[in-house]
Structure 1
Amino acid sequence: MTPPNLNALGPCWEAVIPCIHRAANHFWSTLADRLHPRLPERDAPLFLATLGHLTAGDDHHAGRTALLAALAPTYQHLRIQPHHHPLIVDALIATVARHATATWTPETASLWQRRSHHALSLTHRATTRIATGPAWTPAEIIGRDQAADTITILTLRPHHRLRHEAGQALPVTTPRQPGAWRWYFPANAPRPDGTIELHIRAITGGPVSPLLAHHAAIGEQVWLGTPYAMGLALDPNRDGDLLLAAGGTGLAPLRAIVEHLAATRARRRVTLVVGARTMPDLYDSVTLDKLQTTHDDWLTVVPALSDEPFVEPAAQGDLLTLALAHYQPGQHLYVAGPPDLITHARLRLPAAGIPDNRLHLAETFSRTPLAGAQPKTPRQD
């Protein structure tokens, strides 16, 4: 007998999403007197959406890892244990069956049973391999700026102060697509007012980035997971000057590092090479100009324009070529940007003589299958 296709879960879950709050009421009521400690009613829609998406979703590796990184601290915060899994699975299946009657069959019920147990097992394993942190927190969008054709800058005010460090990333989801989480780097060092700036590039076909970039409005709410150190955070026990190479929205964590050094008055010279195809693609230039003007005694910002023939020769070329032209022995080199850039950097920079212990590259999740492991540096989409 041919096993049921995993794609059979998709139509069921798609039927639940439009009525997620009503479905969450049923899910929460089913668990209310059986799960101790109780799932807070206010968290039920997001918990259901995230667990349902993990069970039914046909997501890429980075998305699944962001989802687990968001769900695991909440799972831990609620003190859920494996002996609770059957109760949660029963409530999930009853909820999906109630709202997906047109696509519900005994075969899909059996598949939901197996897949939801697997999803909870992954979540439990993730709690043993990631740093303990607070559960997700809502954040209000208080500012938006169309920085380029495909890049939007959102300013968020979390309801509770989010303790993050420059270079860390955090999972983000929107009520417009509940349960789908994606990684984003805050583009700022921690601020006194607790606000966070995210740089969103709209990825065609992406489940989160087009919604945030094109539709999320001031006053709207998003949800933020626990920040994670993912290889780009500065090691306080290391010194030496820095060479930062930013491609696209990879500028976000590297700009945060510059802000951190400015706030702490660290005595390290920094060269920030910012890559783009053309001048219009070189977004956030006003902020970069202000940073360089204020800190010109230790900060140099260098544009790297790959398809712009009418700029000075020193600014023409691809990002890695110009970064290598500015490299000085002893510098720590940080590279952040799209997956293709990181793949190329992983091959090219060691071959150019950059020592492994001074090379810091963003991981993209493209090489290792998910097993509830410690999140590394994310792909942003």
Structure 2
Amino acid sequence: MDSRTVALIRTTFKAVAAEEGGPARLASSFYAILFTDYPQARDFFPAAMDAQRDRLVKAISYALDRLEEPNKLLPFLAQLGRDHRKYGVQPEHYVAVATSLKTAMRIFAGSEMWTDEVERAWSEGLTIIGEAMIGAAEKEVTPATWTGTVVERRDLLRNLTVVRLQLDQPMQFAAGQYISVQIPSRPRMWRYLSPAVPANTNGEIEFHIRSVLGGWVSPAMVGQTIVGDQWLLGSPLGGLGIPRNTKRKMLMVGCGTGNAPLRAQLMAMAQRRVNPRVHLFVGGHHPCDLYDLETLSALAVANKWLTVTPVTESDENPWWYLESGETERNWDGLEARVTGQIGKVVASYGSWTDRDVQIVGSPSMVQTTKFRLMAAGTQAKNIRHDPLF
């Protein structure tokens, strides 16, 4: 795709998105056109579409920002194509989506902006995206979905639960990746979760789940999951991970359950003979949010290449925490807990120019931490995080 084609696509999308309420209106229009012209497509989507509309615009924006970086965009699209097999999507559905999106864009862009050249540019771009996803799906030999039976649930906080599942067959994924999950009480509503353990031949998997206020899926996962429930899991996604032969030191920054994919990577690394030095900052609002310090302590004691610094924004636990009267424990192998905003704390240690960086947490935490590190001297090309949608 040449630079002019990319520029035309980006210009029209940004012009539409810049209007008041533009992203929401574009998404609503797209789905209205899709469901009207291709009513069979409605079965692929949840009854409640609010989160889906927001996710669509963010996904489009993410892809458009990488049109000139095929080494980044194509692997991402390939993963999406493999993951979309869980819906039963066929090639003709990609055509329906592309046609509906172009129609919605044409309506909002207007006749002056939506020229024949712009039409051709969007057709070319959407064709490349669709073909990349279809090609990856057709070549994949792994299952479209896995079934996982809940074998244990353990409540750590009133809004945080650990769930262990036994898969119907082992799943191969890289430590640090994430997986789309569907639970029985929320059909067609998929939530992304990161395994907190590396892949294993026994088909065992563990998720750390925090209930998000106002969320559709996570409150049900935390509040309603029982042993014996059967979950559906899609193909693994994401590009976090540490190559075996890397010599670059690592900086890891995780907040809340964002610790899970980092923890999985550290467990995988602990099985290797040689590793680079890793400094992990694990954060939370309150001391009780640092729910996995026992595991991190054991890893740090057994692996001298690992340094772990706990960080919390407050020194006090919330009133509802049942063990709030207990004295805070000093864990072996861990540095003393630091109080402050995690991005600011990490940046205060220096520029980290000798490190590759991974950041995992809420979108706002990831962005804030990334900007603070860049301001301190860390190069953007050395910072990695999953797509923020």
Could you tell me which amino acid in structure 2 is paired with residue 211 of structure 1? A
Partner of residue 301, structure 1: 308
> Letter of the aligned partner of 1:223 in structure 2?
L
CA RMSD between the two structures:
3.7
Separation of aligned partners in 2, 1:156 and 1:49: 30
Shift of the 306–130 alpha-carbon distance from structure 1 to 2, 3 Å rule, reads: farther
Superposition map of 1:182-221 within 5 A: 182-221=191-230
1:162 to 171, 187, 206: 171
Paired position in structure 1 for 2:248: 240
In the TM superposition, residue 182 of structure 1 has moved relative to its aligned partner by 1.2
Match of 1:59 in 2: 51
**C-alpha separation in 2, matches of 1:246 and 1:224:** 24
Q: CA deviation at 1:287?
A: 1.6
Q: CA deviation at 1:263?
A: 1.5
Q: Does 1:135 align with 2:144?
A: yes
Question: Matches of 1:250 and 1:316 in 2, distance apart?
Answer: 18
Alignment of 1:233-272 (within 5 A): 233-236=241-244, 238-272=246-280
AA matched with 2:153: R
Preserved CA contact (<8 Å) 2:144 2:235: yes
Does the aligned pair in 2 maintain the 1:49–1:178 contact within 8 Å?
Answer: no
Which of 170, 182, 185 is the equivalent residue of 1:176?
185
2:363 to 339, 350, 364: 339
Structure 1 residue 189: Cα displacement: 1.3
Indicate the percent of aligned positions where both proteins have the same amino acid. 28
Deviation at 1:195, TM superposition (A): 0.9
Letter in 1 for 2:311: A
Q: Report the CA distance between 1:50 and its aligned residue.
A: 6.0
Decide whether aligned partners of structure 1 residues 204 and 213 sit closer, same or farther in structure 2, where only a CA change above 3 A counts. same
- 1:239 to 1:134, Cα distance in 2 relative to 1, 3 A: farther
Residue 162 of structure 1 aligns to a residue in which SS?
coil
- Aligned CA distance change for structure 1 residues 150 and 162 (closer, same or farther; 3 Å): same
Cα distance, 1:344–1:6 mapped onto 2, change above 3 Å:
closer
Could you tell me the TM-score, scaled by structure 1's length?
Answer: 0.65
CA shift, 1:357, in A, is 2.9
For 2:295 and 2:340, locate their aligned partners in 1 and report how far apart those are by CA, in whole Å.
23
Query: Displacement, 1:127?
Result: 2.9
| Structure 1 position 323 matched with structure 2 position 333 | no
Instruction: Indicate the residue corresponding to 2:64 in structure 1.
Output: none
Residue 52 (structure 1) shift = 4.1
Report the Cα offset of residue 171 of structure 1.
Answer: 0.5
Name the structure, 1 or 2, with higher relative contact order (CA <8 Å, separation 6+): 1
- Aligned mates of 1:218, 1:292 — CA distance in 2: 32
Q: Secondary structure at the match of 2:226?
A: coil
259-268 or 314-323, which deviates more: 314-323
1:136, CA displacement in angstroms? 1.0
Q: Is the 8 A contact 2:41 2:93 kept in 1?
A: no
Shift of 1:59: 2.5
Deviations 1:5-51 (A, max 9, x none): 969x99xx9xxxxxxxxxxxxxxxxxxxxxxxxxxxxxxxxx99961
Distance 1:330 1:175, change over 3 A: same
Distance 1:129 1:342 in 2: 32
Report the CA distance between 1:243 and its aligned residue.
Answer: 1.3
Measured in 2, the distance between the counterparts of 1:194 and 1:266 equals 26
Q: Write the distance in 2 (CA, Å) between the matches of 1:153 and 1:186.
A: 11
Distance in 2 separating the partners of 1:280 and 1:83: 46
Q: What is the CA deviation profile of residues 167-224 of structure 1, one whole-angstrom value per residue up to 9, with x for unaligned ones?
A: 1111101110100001111111123422111111101221211111111111111100
Please report the TM-score for the alignment, with normalisation by the length of structure 2: 0.64
1-side partners of 2:93 and 2:355: how far apart? 51
Q: C-alpha separation between the residues in 2 aligned to 1:144 and 1:48? A: 35
**Alpha-carbon displacement from aligned partner over 1:311-340 (angstroms, at most 9, x marks no partner):** 897622221233234454411121100111
Distance in 2, Cα, partners of 1:221 & 1:49: 24
CA contact (8 A) 2:180 2:193 kept: yes
Residue matched to 1:285: 293
CA shift in 2, pair 1:358/1:207, >3 Å: same
CA distance in 2, matches of 1:49, 1:214: 28
What amino acid is the match of 1:127?
M
SS at 2:197 equivalent: coil
Tell me the equivalent position of 1:352.
376
